[in-house]
Amino acid sequence: MTDRILADTSAPRSTASRQAASHGGSDTDEQWWRRAVIYQIYVRSFADGNGDGIGDLAGVRARLQYLVDLGVDAIWFTPWYQSPLADGGYDVADYRAIDPSFGSLDEAEQLISEARNLGIRTIVDIVPNHVSDQHPWFRAALASAPGSPERARFWFRPGLGEDGNEMPNGWVSNFSGPAWTRTQNPDGTPGEWYLHLFSAQQPDLNWSHPDVRAEHEAVLKFWFDRGVAGVRIDSAALLVKDPALPEVPAEPRPGEHPNTDRDELHEIYRRWRAVADSYPDRRILVGEIWLPDIERFTKYLRPDELHTAFNFDFLARPWDAASLRTSIDSTLAAHAPVGAPATWVLSNHDVTRPVTRYGQEDSSFAFATKRAGTPTNVELGRRRARAAALLCAALPGSLYIYQGEELGLDEVQDLPAHQLQDPMYLRSGGADPGRDGCRVPLPWAGRCSPFGFSPAGATGEPWLRQPDRWAELTVEAQQRDSGSMLSLYRRMLGIRRSHADLRDDHLRWLPSADDVLAFARGERFLCVTNLSNTSIELPAGCSLILASVEVTGGLLPPDATAWLHSESNPTQHRTLQFRTQGGE
Ligand code: GLC
């Protein structure tokens, strides 16, 4: 067992060598998405080019080299369209325009092409379940009479009860509170109600209406024509509703929920797939699908539907070997029959940052509401987040990284109340702290806010306050430190890209103690994660490729992952033992 971390293969590579790499961004590799590393950019908080305190496309364009150096294959932009930003852009007023606070369509086109020239593909977010209440369709619907064609594109219904005072049904918004808002007639009297599964500023579209279907296919083409490699489909399992709008049964059987995972959705995605496949270089469809039933989930990934979907089961698991192993096994088993790759996601703009999540006693995921006020051991959380990153990056499939995850940023739990914007916070009357804490602008350089997020001489403060402690976590500080999270991610992604064994689609579990996850990929690559509270003796005949902690004396300490090179051949792997000290 050597203690040495092997050669750092993550040094920035030239564009030509990136494109030649068979792992990811090769122009000729139609299957690039099966193993890709996709970096999520929350535009408002990535980098501010014009100094108003809000991230923008100019900021992203100026930082593309950072993403090249990190080693990603693609970037996914959360919605950048014109929007009143009632839900951070998931309330779209015009799908064909960029919000002026982010830039212009011209800049978006330039960004897509500049990134592509650097070997990075672009994925945009499509929001088909709802529009903004400022979208021309909804404004026209409000201005029109009940029963009018304008209202038919949405879910308008008269209220129940004598005065129509009661909501058409008891559905609850995903952001808490009722899923219905009452309109006002032009004469000021109360009118019909409309459905919104999220905030009142996000009216749900009626997907049985031909205009809604045609418009979204046109929007897909609009962005594909501008060179995007794919789309992430927001709330992909919610679009279709049972037109009778019945109450949600206490325990709906699969396919019988009135607003989630309805069978009619599959036909919509088959049509979208045909649009994506009509482009010679094929574009990809990625679904945001939160479903507890993995078999129902993978139905969306049949060969003529979506290419991949976010696997949220893994991030919802606590830091526990048996639970994580169950998630890995069930994910891979359910994906295999449909031939789709799994995806691995530790965080996104909706969930508590992993450093905070894994630093809390109950490390299973729940929306922030359940975590408010829970004590956090950030040091422990960061150590586990490093281990989790190496674990995920070694699994077969594609990998998502949410901006700031590579810096080990923690959830900001003490933002000033007046800055909080998330409708989850606002609609719950503050009972739910919401998702702003994982959306704080990135720290790039310097010792104090704005930490290089905005240029020198900026007129605006960052839209959410950055904590002073992030001075230690800036890109600039971490670049200088070979032990930093950023250095770990760079090495990790470099090795992931170049290691032939990680191209294999399978993993083989190796014998290990209960609290240890050990598996092999390909001929010689081994990954071992220690979730126990004692060290593991790494077996002889293995050399260290990379570890989330310093490994000394052949011992992998608790809450750590190591990538190893096995000198023995695969048939002998089952004789390798990953035992905890003093354990079995
Ligand atoms: C998705 C997005 C989330 C948004 C919601 C409504 O879950 O990820 O940020 O609030 O959809 O569009």
Does the domain at residues 7-127+311-492 carry the CATH identifier 3.40.640.10? no
Contact of 78 with 40, CB cutoff 8 Å: yes
Q: Is 466 in the pocket of ligand 1 (CB under 6 A)?
A: no
DSSP string, 207-242: TTSHHHHHHHHHHHHHHHHTT--EEEETTTT-S---
Of the candidates 359, 356, 339, the one whose C-alpha atom is nearest the C-alpha of residue 347 is 356
276 CB burial (10 A radius; 0-12, 13-18, 19+): buried
Dist. CA 286 → ligand 1 center (Å): 14
Give residue 90 CA to ligand 1 midpoint distance, Å. 6
State the pLDDT confidence band at 371, using cuts at 50, 70 and 90. Answer: low
90 ligand 1 Cβ < 6 A: yes
Instruction: For residue 318, say if its preceding peptide bond is cis, omega within 30 degrees of 0.
Output: no
Q: Looking at residue 130, what DSSP letter applies?
A: B
Q: CA–CA separation, 381 vs 387, rounded Å?
A: 10
Centre of ligand 1 to C-alpha 142, Å, is 24
Q: Is residue 87 in contact with ligand 1, taking CB distance under 6 Å? A: yes
Closest ligand 1 atom to Cα of 129: 12
Strands 579-580 and 536-537, sheet pairing: antiparallel
Give the model's pLDDT for residue 577.
81
Give distance in angstroms: CA of 509 to centre of ligand 1. Answer: 35
Q: Does any ligand 1 atom lie closer than 6 A to the CB of residue 406?
A: no
Average pLDDT of the chain is 93
HSE of 370, CA atoms in CB hemisphere, 13 A:
12
Out of 17-21, 150-154, 185-189, which region has the weakest mean confidence (pLDDT)? 17-21
CA–CA separation, 438 vs 356, rounded Å? Answer: 10
The first and second tokens of residue 403, run together, are 């901006």
C-beta 350 within 6 A of ligand 1 = yes
| Cα gap 509→130, rounded to integer Å | 43
Other beta carbons within 10 angstroms of residue 293's beta carbon come to 12
Is ligand 1 within 6 A of the CB of residue 198? yes
For a substitution probing ligand 1, which of 195, 234, 424, 436 has the most ligand atoms within 8 Å of its CB? 234
Instruction: Quickly tell me which residue has 């800036």 as its tokens.
Output: 474
pLDDT higher than 50, residue 226: yes
Among the ranges given (14-23, 44-53, 174-183, 394-403), the one the predictor scored with the smallest mean pLDDT:
14-23
Q: Which atom of ligand 1 is nearest to the CA of 87?
A: 10
Asked if 262 contacts 242 with a C-beta cutoff of 8 angstroms, the reply is: yes
Cα(172) to ligand 1 centroid in Å equals 15
The ranges assigned to domains in the chain are 7-127+311-492, 136-195, 499-581
Q: Which residue type, as a one-letter code, is found at position 194?
A: Y
CA of 61 to the centre of ligand 1 (A): 25
Q: Where are the beta strands (DSSP E) in 5-105?
A: 37-41, 74-77, 81-82, 94-98
β-strand 180-184 against 230-233: which pairing, if any?
Answer: unpaired
What pLDDT, on the 0 to 100 scale, is given for residue 324? 97
Q: Of the candidates 404, 402, 411, which has an alpha carbon nearest to the alpha carbon of residue 467?
A: 411
State the first-to-last Cα distance of the chain, in angstroms, to the nearest integer. 20
State whether CATH 3.90.400.10 applies to domain 136-195: yes
Over residues 42-60, the mean pLDDT reads 98
Q: Which of 357, 328, 330 is nearest to 344 (CA)?
A: 328
Catalytically active residues, by annotation: 234, 288
Q: What percent of the chain has pLDDT over 90?
A: 87
CA atoms of 509 and 358, how far apart (whole Å): 24
pTM of the model: 0.94
127 CB within 6 A, ligand 1? yes
User: Helix 265-277 crosses helix 210-225 at what angle (to 10 degrees)?
Assistant: 30
Does the structure show a pLDDT above 90 at 529?
yes
Q: How confident is the model at residue 365 (pLDDT cuts 50, 70, 90)?
A: low
Give the HSE-up count for residue 441: Cα atoms under 13 Å, Cβ half-sphere: 30
CATH classification of 499-581 is 3.40.190.10, yes or no? no
User: Which of 41, 42, 90 for a ligand 1 pocket mutation test, highest count of atoms within 8 Å of Cβ?
Assistant: 90
- Alpha carbon nearest to ligand 1 atom 9, residue: 350
